[in-house]
Structure 1
Amino acid sequence: MTEEEKVFSGGVAVITGAGAGIGMGLARRCGEIGMTVVVTDIDKGRADKVAAEIVAAGGKAEAIQLDVSKPEALDALAQDVFDRHGAVRLLINNAGIETIGNVWEIPAARWEATLNINIHGVVHGVRAFVPHMLRVGQEAWIANLASIGSFGQMPTQTAYIMSKHAIQSFSECLYLEMQVAKAPINVCSIIPGMLKTSIFDAEAGVGEPESAASHRATMAHMMANYGMDLDEGSRVFVEGLAARKFWISSQPEMTEQAVAGRIAFFQNQSNPELGEQQRALLGI
């Protein structure tokens, strides 16, 4: 029996945005180690498909349609899952979208969607589930999806980068709040470097300015050719959760490099500037 199975087998995992991408990979891995997986996604068809795959592989799963941009939907989900299952051992606030374009060119609706999904979805996921976790009193885990972008700068990806900076700081403060409250809840920051997912696919850019298409295509090509295998990344993430780590990186060397760059930026108090890789991505 693996350490992940010892820690999580028999427990319930609730994962947002689990119909595709990293959420899907995490859902499959949680199913493999013996968890009952609540697969949530705004697209019920995608959630159904992932849940069916987990069941077909011998696991336990159920699919629920969920729009994380609506706080009341997260409240209802938490109440429903605790009413039916009694406890949640692992909550993964994964749902998120990538938005590309200059700040002034992104339509208001796309800005609002990005902030409501990427930031408020995590905040209200925690707000909705924690009171139930505290009431049950068992050891539990909350994992929030940050990003290698939580420690950097990237023009035309400002909306996404900003949201991930926010999630990293939110998770750090939440970790300390759990310590102060002496709560049996582990808080973890999941930091993907570059994994093979569909986040940069063309259809995911609906509502972005037309100028975003070329950058989205470049990023999709880069991810497909150089990204880490999704299942391998998900295995690394769940392994880190079982070890009760706060920092859980798919590619630690990428995180170390990004953090080192951020530290130097703060220490030098220099002006933001483009690196060679950023210039290449932007075609400069």
Structure 2
Amino acid sequence: MITNFKGKTAVLTGAGSGFGLECARLGAALGMNLVLVDVQQDALDQASAELQATGAQVLAFRLDVSNAEQMQAMSRAVLEHFGAPHFVFNNAGVGSGGLLWENSVKDWEWVLGVNLWGVIHGVRLFVPMMLEAAAKDPAWQGHIVNTASMAGLLNPPNMGVYNVSKHAVVSLSETLYQDLQLVTDQIGASVLCPFFVPTGISQSHRNRPAELSNSKPTKSQLIQQAMTDKAVGSGKVTAAGVAQKVFDAMVADQFYIYSHPQAIHSVQTRMEDILQARNPTDPFADKPEIGAQLKRALRGA
């Protein structure tokens, strides 16, 4: 259980917007040192200037979290400047949709690179540092928060690449929690599973690297983009509210963090499908008009 944040160091990927920025703002208010990581230079500069103005110690890195060498260099710089971080928010993520077979190799490489490999790098680079710090000081405490999604617990159609990446993050996070329990009582782990919250993720194609760009999105990808834009844009839960839930969860040593607890009903339905070996339930059973609209759009009817 985390009791004190003042003077502690947090590494936050995807820190230029959304959950990453809101968690950094909370961290600054609590007197933390902040390591801000983002791929978008202007957003990173703006976040860095805002947080430094609060008096927080800030290190900023523009990098691609899927890149092992860039992440390694950043982790070394953090260790040299602040020592082992107490908190790591593996938060950077990108959204992508479309029918599974219409996703290109580049789609898979981009989404899995950011959403999964970004978390893998954050864990493999920082956990050893954190364990070493904990071994030297019995009072040292740390916590890792990996951002997954409700799409890591469900499998909404026309979002396959994203679903796969987020299910992997949930699996990684649950295993990380169990692995840490075996070796230390000083470092905790949580997985954040937000539903539709107004962040920049629905426009993440703005940061897609040129070498992983497709010439033109498919029909199913355009349909999913429009649906996601609408759902994210109309979200009532704010990124700031979710960031507060994250900090509350760290204090309470709570593993699963939900932005919309009511969405768990759908997870329960999925689990019952598995337990009863029945075919997957229609995800639009409670909102049939949305399912009908999607089917019509995809079939061109």
Shift, 1:280, TM fit: 5.1
What's the CA shift string for 1:23-44, capped at 9, x where partnerless?
A: 1222222222211111101122
**What CA distance in whole angstroms lies between the structure 1 residues aligned with 2:109 and 2:185?**
33
Q: How does 1:6-17 map to 2 (within 5 A)?
A: 6-17=3-14
Distance 1:237 1:251 in 2: 13
- Report the CA distance between 1:281 and its aligned residue: 6.3
Q: After the TM superposition, which residues 14-29 of structure 1 pair with which residues of structure 2 at under 5 Å, given as runs?
A: 14-29=11-26
Q: Distance in 2 between matches of 1:44 and 1:195?
A: 23
- Offset of 1:245 from its aligned partner? 1.0
Q: 1:228 aligns with which of 237, 240, 244?
A: 237
RMSD, aligned α-carbons: 2.1
Report how far residue 170 of structure 1 moved.
Answer: 0.9
Cα separation, 2, equivalents of 1:36 and 1:76: 19
On the 8 A contact 2:269/2:281 being kept in 1, the answer is: no
Alignment map for 1:98-247 (pairs within 5 Å): 98-137=95-134, 138-182=140-184, 184-201=186-203, 203-204=205-206, 207=214, 209-211=217-219, 212-247=221-256
Residues in 2 aligned to 1:219 and 1:283: alpha-carbon distance in whole angstroms = 16
Distance change in 2, residues 1:202/1:136 (3 Å): closer
1:134-154 C-alpha deviation (Å, 9 max, x unpaired) = 111121111111111111111
What are the superposed Cα offsets for residues 173-219 of structure 1, whole Å, 9 maximum, x if unpaired? 11111111225211111111221112113854864723212321222
Number of matched pairs: 280
Unaligned stretches of 5+ residues in structure 2: 135-139, 297-301
Q: Distance between the aligned counterparts of 2:235 and 2:42, measured in 1?
A: 29
**Counterpart of 1:171 in 2: which secondary structure?**
helix
2:19 and 2:293 map into 1 onto residues whose CA distance is: 23
Q: Provide the residue aligned with 1:60 in structure 2.
A: 57
What amino acid is the match of 1:151? L
Instruction: Give 1:226 deviation, angstroms.
Output: 2.7
Q: Structure 1's 219 and 280: CA in aligned 2 closer, same or farther, altered over 3 A? A: farther
- Per-residue CA deviation, residues 117-175 of structure 1 (Å, 9 max, x unaligned), is 11111112100111111111121111111111111111221011111111111111111
The alignment-based identity, stated in percent, is: 31
Q: Alpha-carbon deviations, 1:49-88, whole Å to 9, x = none?
A: 1111122344332311121111222222111101111221
CA contact (8 A) 1:202 1:213 kept: no
Deviation larger for 43-52 or 168-177: 43-52
Aligned equivalents of 1:146, 1:193: Cα separation in 2: 10
- Provide closer, same or farther for how the CA distance between residues 115 and 202 of structure 1 changes in structure 2, counting only shifts above 3 A: closer
* Of 264, 267, 279, the match for 2:291: 279
Aligned to 1:269: 277
> Does the aligned pair in 1 maintain the 2:102–2:218 contact within 8 Å?
no
Indicate the SS of the match to 1:282.
helix
SS in structure 1 opposite 2:198? Answer: coil
Q: For the Cα contact (< 8 Å) 1:18–1:24, is it kept in 2? A: yes
Query: Normalising by structure 1, what TM-score?
Result: 0.91
Q: 1:203 to 1:167 in 2, by over 3 A?
A: closer
The 3 A distance-change label for structure 1 pair 275 and 86 is closer
Within 5 Å, which residues of 2 pair with 1:37-116? 37-116=34-113
Q: TM-score scaled by structure 2?
A: 0.86
Deviation beyond 3 Å, 4+ runs, structure 1: 57-60, 202-208
Structure 1: state its 5+ residue gaps: none
